[in-house]
Amino acid sequence: MAKARVLRGICHYRAGRNDEALAYYNEAIRVAPQSAAAVYDRGLMWLAKGDDDAALADFSTAPGAPERGFARFELARLGS
């Protein structure tokens, strides 16, 4: 279930519909809080929306790999 929501979020993000993408990422995290892809992708969405603090929060808590490695990269770019 969460994977489908993440994929829908990605589709909306690529189409420039950031609010819809964010809603799908939030829903994916609600049904599967340990979804590394959902947490990481939501962090990227926060960056796209200009909310570095929210992105930092997601990247700091992104579970699993490889997303955890990518999250560390994003944290470094944000200076944390």
Summarize pLDDT for 53-78 with one digit per residue, the tens: 898 888 888 776 455 666 676 777 77
Number of domains the chain is built from: 1
CATH code, domain with 56: 1.25.40.10
CA distance 7 to 12: 9
Q: For position 66, what pLDDT does the model report?
A: 53
User: What is the pLDDT of the chain when averaged over all its residues?
Assistant: 86
What is the residue range of 58's domain? 2-78
The count of other CB atoms within 10 Å of the CB of residue 50 is 8
Per-residue DSSP letter, 16: T
